[in-house]
């Protein structure tokens, strides 16, 4: 049971933490892209979208460089904690965050763009500033896209494999997520374990997509 239970619990922990950060940072970036004009806007959009098109090995390699002790993120983490972040489950959280953020940003940006800006202008004329208008008008009216983006980001994080393998190394009992455990089980011929984890992963992904559809229908009704 440990060979099944540990990857499931680790995957859920990594995915929930990743989705937590994706939710807040994704909404912030989406609002900036949808409602603000500034120099470098297109560059920001490209950088956020890039993980969707980069091969997992390339993305994992770039992350490994940054998470090492000589990298920006890894160097800061080492200075603060005295230990490295590469080949830890925390590195898997960062990898999951990077690969799932584009889904959140794309979905939420589209939802915010669909909100009538006249409603925001009315709020301004009533004395509300941009922050209060965003929190009380824009984001509530974008909730369908925000919820859909959050669920899809979680599902993407649950199934993350390539970049995670590069930055965690698939160490049994430490960094072996469900996807990595399936890969390892297949390599070693443990098809019973692989089949069990595949079934669970498919069910989790199915439920995530199903929930997205149900929530969309509920919000439209």
Structural contact between residues 108 and 149, judged by C-beta atoms closer than 8 angstroms:
yes
Q: In total, how many domains does the chain have?
A: 1
CA 114 to the chain's CA centroid: 23
pLDDT tens column, 165-221:
999 988 888 999 999 999 999 999 999 999 999 999 999 888 877 877 777 667 666
Say what the pLDDT of residue 14 is: 95
Say what the pLDDT of residue 71 is: 87
Closest to 134 measured CA to CA, from 145, 126, 123, 125: 123
Which CATH number belongs to the domain containing residue 129 in this structure? 1.10.3720.10
Structure pTM? Answer: 0.90
Question: Three-state SS string across the chain, please?
Answer: CHHHHHHHHHHHHHHHHHHHHHHHHHHHHHHHHHHCCCCCHHHHHHHHHHHHCCCHHHHHHHHHHHHCCCCHHHHHHHHHHCCCCCCCHHHHHHHHHHHHHHHHHHHHHHHHHCCCHHHHHHHHHCCCCHHHHHHHHHHHHCHHHHHHHHHHHHHHHHCCCHHHHHHHCCCCCCCCCHHHHHHHHHHHCCHHHHHHHHHHHHHHHHHHHHHHHHHHHHHHC
Structural contact between residues 75 and 128, judged by C-beta atoms closer than 8 angstroms:
no
pLDDT tens column, 106-161:
999 999 999 999 999 999 898 889 999 999 999 999 998 898 899 889 989 998 99
Q: Write down the residue that tokens 């390599």 correspond to.
A: 187
Tell me the CA distances in angstroms from 15 to 64, 72, 75, 111, 203, one per residue in order.
19, 23, 24, 23, 15
Domain range for 170 is: 2-220
């Amino acid at each position: 049971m440990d060979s099944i239970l540990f990857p499931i619990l680790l995957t859920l922990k990594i995915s929930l933490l990743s989705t937590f950060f994706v939710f807040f940072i994704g909404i912030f970036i989406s609002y900036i892209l949808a409602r603000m004009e500034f120099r470098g806007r297109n560059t920001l959009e490209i950088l956020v979208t890039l993980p969707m098109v980069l091969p997992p090995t390339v993305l994992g390699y770039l992350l490994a460089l940054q998470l090492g002790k000589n990298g920006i993120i890894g160097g800061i983490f080492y200075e603060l904690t005295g230990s490295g972040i590469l080949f830890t489950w925390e590195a898997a959280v960062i990898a999951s965050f990077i690969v799932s953020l584009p889904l959140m940003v794309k979905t939420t940006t589209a939802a915010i763009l669909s909100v009538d800006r006249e409603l925001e202008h009315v709020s301004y004329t009533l004395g509300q500033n941009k922050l209060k208008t965003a929190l009380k008008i824009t984001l509530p009216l974008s909730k369908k896209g925000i919820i859909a983006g959050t669920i899809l980001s979680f599902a993407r994080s649950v199934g993350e494999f390539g970049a995670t393998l590069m930055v965690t190394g698939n160490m049994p009992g430490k960094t072996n997520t469900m996807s990595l455990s399936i890969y390892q089980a297949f390599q070693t011929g443990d098809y019973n374990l692989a089949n069990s984890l595949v079934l669970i992963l498919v069910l989790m992904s199915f439920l995530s997509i199903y929930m997205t559809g149900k929530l969309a229908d509920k919000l439209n009704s």
